[in-house]
Amino acid sequence: MPRAILHVVLLAVLGLVAPPLGRAGAQDYPTRPIHVIVPFSTGGPSDILSRLIGAKLTEAWGQPVIVDSRAGAGGIIGTELAVKAAPDGYTLVLDNLADAISVGLYPKLPYDLVRDLRPVSLIANSPFLLVVHPSVPVHSVVELIALARAKPGSLAFASAGVGTPSHMSGELLKWMAHIDLTHVPYKGQAPATADVLAGQVPLMFTNPLNGLAFVRDGRLRALAVSTSHRIAAAPDVPTVAEAGVPGFDVGIWFGFQAPAKTPDWIVRKLADQIRKILEAPDVRAQLAAQGAEPLPEGPDAFAARIRADIDKWSALIKAAGLHPE
């Protein structure tokens, strides 16, 4: 054996040179279960979406996708676990907008969202519904703003917790409409919704998955949709921008990320398969039923969206003087 080849072989045996990852390696992945960390509560949109896509990945590749809910601290606990995982494609995290918000809200995060994770693929974008308890004497955003201005600080809005997208949607409405609303944080979407249903708190921004059923049975009144366009699941509900606050646009995105050093070919294979899944009519129908729309954007577009949202929400947090409570 020539000396140069023998030298390379010895280095590879010692683990100092990694063998090249070619087409065969890409075809072999995955050869064991994929672990998906969901850093938000069980039963919420992140959990539901991860299980939907995970089941489709299992069908396509024949390997189980194990969904592990690690809720806490606005997504920080589960995201940190993903950051510390081996970058081999077998650990992913289902992130959402809350992670980008946390960058501006918490100056000492135990990770760098941009540096320590690698975007794989977006899955979906979902609006919020701005809802009020039926006892609140308003039927539109304009009326809500008028009531808030007539009685500054007397209206409260519930959220799933400090720094969550439902909280920041309320803060953005306050900022853009020049009104004073009192924030009431809860430990998750479910208890927040329960108190609005009971009339303990008059209003909130809720995801369609939780809110639409209550709107349809008359237990909540929908005033507006948070995104820039109406949704098929509630076509008669105007957007916040249409209803009195021009430029208001909040959509909560969901997407898979991987530890930063995950190889390119694994990221590409995952992104390509997720895009195919999101093109399937049954998946699109399931998303639409939840008031969400598929968002099959790959790694580069996902990375750009994260950076843009970090800038957007960090600016609002600073301007409004918000701090972790």
Residue whose structure tokens are 């995952």: 270
What local confidence, expressed as pLDDT, does residue 82 receive? Answer: 96
For 95-101, what is the mean pLDDT? Answer: 93
Name which of 232, 183, 263 is nearest 21 in CA terms.
Answer: 263
pLDDT of 10 > 50? The answer is no
Looking at residue 16, its amino acid is L
Edge to edge, the sheet with strand 221-225 lists 182-185, 156-159, 203-206, 129-132, 221-225
Q: CB neighbours of 108 closer than 8 A, spacing ≥ 6?
A: none
- pLDDT tens digits, one per residue of 75-92: 889 999 999 999 999 999
Res 324: pLDDT: 77
pLDDT value of residue 27: 65
Q: Which residue has the higher pLDDT, 229 or 9?
A: 229
Confidence of residue 23 (pLDDT cuts 50, 70, 90): very low
129-225 has the same fold as 32-126+251-320: yes
**Length in residues, the chain:** 325
Hey, what CATH topology would domain 32-126+251-320 get?
Answer: D-Maltodextrin-Binding Protein; domain 2 (3.40.190)
Q: Which two tokens stand for residue 160?
A: 């799933």
Confidence band (pLDDT; 50, 70, 90) for 21? very low
Mean pLDDT on 150-175? 93
Indicate the SS3 state at residue 23: helix
Structural domain spans, the chain: 32-126+251-320, 129-225
| Amino acid 221: pLDDT | 98
CA-nearest of 250, 259, 265, 256 to 295 is 256
**Model pLDDT, residue 280:** 96
How high is the pLDDT of residue 24? 45
- Which tokens go with 75? 């997504």
Please state which CATH number belongs to domain 129-225: 3.40.190.10
Decide if pLDDT at 193 tops 60: yes
The CA distances from residue 113 to 68, 96, 261, in Å, are 20, 12, 13
